Homo-oligomer: A and B are copies of this chain.
Amino acid sequence: LDRGINWSAPLPSPYAPEVTEDLLAGGRLLREAFYQSPRFTEPRGTVIIGPDDHDAPLLLIHKGSAYARRTLPDGKRAITELFWPRDIAGLEHIAIGASYREVVAAAALSYRLLPSHVLRTLMAERGVALKLLSLAAEAHLRMDRHLAAIGRLEARERVGGLLLDTYDRLRHNGLIARSTFNLNLTQNEIGDHLGPTSVHISRTLRQLRKEKIALVYRQVAVIIDFARLREMVAGLPPLFFPAEPVLNAG
């Protein structure tokens, strides 16, 4: 059981050392730009960015969570990315003028928007361009890893991975302190994200509950046994890079 031991994940990703300063400056400018826009709030389920929106804005999340969703021609749905507070969604819109997926609020969502043309202007600032590229790279890394998981792991490991990844991401950003957190996804949505049907997600969760590894009840997840959960998802590469000498205290 979790006895207050720090079970959190390894250190964050090491950026190329020579860019950390630029990244910090760029991140600051980016945040300031967002803060010039008003803060919106929308209830769960709201489509923030439509599937065919033109010149869609970028989106900084303050509170709640959101996901990117694709609807296939036959009506099947796939959730390809999850966004949590401090994440920026819609980086693609800076270069590509049309959206190809929806961004949907997974919980009551508080956020700010920034039109893509503002970003294009702001990119003149070296740090901003670099920060945007690094955000894109992080998203790429997560999708790459998710792709490997979906293609090569079984439902059990994928579900375990989702729980652990979410915990690690939230914990790493200081958004939670205990082993309980709000997943904000119905079992149907979990299925759309991981591949299996909601029926199978239900069975998998029941199994984890029965084995006293983790508990998901009404979108609230509780990780009971970190050691066995981490062992269960050992097939998955680590979410962040392996620990390294700290590069910068910035």
Contacts and interface: CB of A to CB of B under 8 A. Distances in A.
B148 A16 contact: no
Say which size band chain A's interface belongs to. Answer: 35 or more
Interface string A111-140: 000001100100110100110111011111
Nearest to A139: B140
B150 A151 contact: yes
B195 A96 contact: no
Nearest to A129: B129
A119 to B, nearest CB: 9
Number of copies of this chain that the complex holds: 2
A72 B153 CA distance: 10
**Candidate in A68, A101, A117, A237 with the most chain B CB atoms within 10 angstroms:** A237
Interface of A: 13-19, 23, 55, 68, 70, 72-74, 76-78, 80-81, 91-98, 100-101, 116-117, 120, 123-124, 126, 129-130, 132-134, 136-141, 143-148, 150-153, 192-195, 234-237, 241
